[in-house]
Chain A
Amino acid sequence: MSEPTPAAVRDYWQETLAALARYPARPELEPLPLRSTPFARLFGVRLTSLGPYRLFGYLSIPAGDGPFPAIYYAPKYQSVLEIIPQGTANLQRSRYVTFSLAGRGQRNADAPYAAMFPGLLTDGLDRAASYVFRSIVADSVRGLEFLLSRPEVDPARVVVAGNDLALMTAASTPGATHVVTTPALFYKTAALALKTQAYPLEEINDYLRAYPARAESVRSTLAHFDLLRFAPRVIAATLLMAGAPGSLLDGKALQPLAAALQGQVTVYESQQSLYKDGLYAERWMAAQCGIADVQQILPQHWRD
């Protein structure tokens, strides 16, 4: 099995998004008083994606008159769904609408499909048509569509943040004005997995050790998901969070990806400090969204 042609990849994703469009989202919002504060209300959201499959997300809306800038936290590669990422100041919710989505398999979206971590990355990997991440990309797209439907959101300031899915989502549907992406799963995966023994890419190595005869089909599936295929359709300003110099996904390794993105690109190389890396991303988002007093929405231990 050879590498899929660009036309084949385009058709694959067009068919996926067309199939998604056949299912209306039918969102249900339920207030969550336990996580609501004087400065933001929180809602649990259920909505339909490809399949059909019912997903879950957390929507936070600031107090006061909008519209507000928004951050969409695309599904992460973990079982737990966070309201906002661990360590983020809760006050972030006073300035941004935030929406975090559990893709199928994650907690609160784990019926009927409960994903395993590790395990999700190779579920159905030998057939592009049935690879679980085809549906998870559709889930993530559906999440952004839902967020953009909210009247509280300023459509000129919509950040999509996350791992590879952030970039894939921004490429697959209109509406993202900014992207913060930390590639981890789908950039030159077949080649880079061979250079590491660390999970999650070690899942690919485990799979190919167990099923060597499927190597060609795995490479073909992964080629449908490579970020280089998505990048030319990303016109949003993008913060590309690279690994530390010398690591598998450092700035040098990601240079072809940066070059393929169509919007303004900032490449940030990790300083191996969650404080320094996190602070950079928070300030970048705030600057892009016109939030002048970012100090007020930083964690206490990050403030000057």
Chain B
Amino acid sequence: MPNAPADNYQSKVDKPDDFDAFWEGVLRQASAVALEPEMIPDPLRTSEDIETFQVFYTSIDHVRVAAWYCRPTRGARAPAIMLLPGYQMDPPIPKEWARKGYAALSVAPRGKLRSNRQFNPGYPNLLTHNVVDRHTYAYRGFYVDTWRGIDFLLSRPEIDPARIGVTGSSQGGGLTVTTAAMRPEVRAASAGAPYLCGFMDAVELTHTYPYEEINDYLRLHPERQAEVEDTLAYFDGISFADRITCPIIVNIGLQDNVCPPETGYALFERIAAADKRLYPYDGHGHDAGRARHTAVVDAFFARHLLGREVSR
């Protein structure tokens, strides 16, 4: 087995001085756009115990964003979980979370299937779409789309606004970090194999897609390196990490060939929350120990959102 990477990796991410001002400006622009939430029942995917809806809401630049929403058919006000998708995956229908007692929203940020009518840079390509300009970079809107998911949850009367969690793996892990950082309504977060953290570290540590998209871009446009690095610093999960104050758990695979574990360590070190815990899984790749870790995540959210201690 390969040697596990050092846990004291020094990331090159340098948080820009005007990072907070940049994102406050973006949030201001987003807040001027009405959410216009729409919930369409999906009888095909609804059963006796779980109601399923197709959800749509409007995000920054007036892009209409799709999501799946599942909730238990019975019960009082429910805690909520927002699920965030991987880079290439199609957002799943979150029935499994609804069966555990949560109202669950699975967001398809712009460019994903069902959210790609107004914005569709494609895969591969999303990672480098307008990467030389932070004001139009693909992830500016993409991040906001996920944060607006919290606004959708807050608009629902069946949801307890004091019990909202967020989770995802890979890109979903990175988006969990950025959402927990930017939305104080998030009370608990679980990030797996976080992507979008240490972009410029990762392109040296691994040569696999999707990060390889950046290497492809810089091979063709080497003169744009400084602009690329400048933009990505505003979008790096490591730059967001010191804004996180809610309880958070992070799991990484020490043989992760997609999101290098070194970047997971660097992210975790920068997270400001007092209640944080890292789960490194040796012998695991981009699954980040999912088979074992699922029970950890379940217990974590049960404790923070359901008020239940679950023995494992």
Using a CB–CB cutoff of 8 Å, the interface residues on chain A facing chain B are 33-35, 37, 78-84, 86-91, 107-108, 116-118, 197-199, 202, 206-207, 209-210, 244, 272-276, 278, 299-304
Contact = CB atoms under 8 A, between A and B. Distances in A.
Given A107-B123, A275-B283, 6 more contacts: A82-B124, A82-B209, A83-B209, A275-B255, A299-B207, A301-B254
Contacts, number: 127
A108 B120 CA distance: 11
What 10 A-B pairs come out closest when comparing CB atoms?
A275-B285, A299-B257, A272-B291, A274-B285, A275-B255, A117-B90, A80-B88, A274-B287, A80-B123, A87-B257
B90 A79 contact: yes
B286 interface: yes
A206 B45 contact: yes
Given A107-B122, A275-B255, A276-B283, A89 B88 contact: no
A86 B283 contact: no
A278 B47 contact: no
B92 interface: yes
A274 B208 contact: no
B92 A199 contact: yes
Contacts of B122: 107-108
A116 B257 contact: no
A89 B208 contact: yes
30 contacts: A34-B216, A35-B124, A35-B216, A37-B219, A80-B89, A82-B124, A86-B210, A87-B209, A87-B258, A88-B209, A107-B123, A117-B113, A199-B93, A202-B95, A206-B44, A206-B45, A209-B47, A244-B291, A272-B290, A274-B257, A274-B284, A275-B253, A275-B257, A275-B285, A299-B207, A300-B205, A301-B206, A301-B254, A301-B256, A304-B1
B209 A302 contact: no
Contacts of A118: 90, 93
Interface residues of B, number: 47
Interface core residue of B210, B212, B253 (most chain A CB under 10 Å): B212
B96 A82 contact: no
A34 to B, nearest CB: 5
B80 to A, nearest CB: 21
A83 B208 contact: no
Nearest to A198: B96
A275 B284 contact: yes
A82 B88 contact: yes
A36 to B, nearest CB: 9
A259 B122 CA distance: 41
Contacts of A86: 87-88, 208-210, 258, 286
A210 B45 CA distance: 8
Contacts of B23: none
Interface in B113-154: 113-114, 122-124
A272 B89 CA distance: 19
A91 B258 contact: no
Nearest to B259: A87
Given A35-B216, A206-B44, A302 B257 contact: yes
Nearest to A81: B123
A82 B93 CA distance: 23
Contacts of B207: 89-91, 299-300
Nearest to B292: A272
Nearest to B220: A34
B261 interface: yes
Contacts of A107: 122-123
B285 A90 contact: no
Contacts of B212: 90
A77 B201 CA distance: 31
Interface string B238-267: 000000000000000111111011000000
Contacts of B75: none
For B43, B87, B284, which residue has the most chain A Cβ atoms within 10 angstroms? B284
B209 A273 contact: no
A278 B257 contact: yes
A299 B206 contact: yes
A304 B2 contact: yes
A78 B90 CA distance: 7
A80 B283 CA distance: 28
A157 to B, nearest CB: 23
B291 A301 contact: no
A260 to B, nearest CB: 29
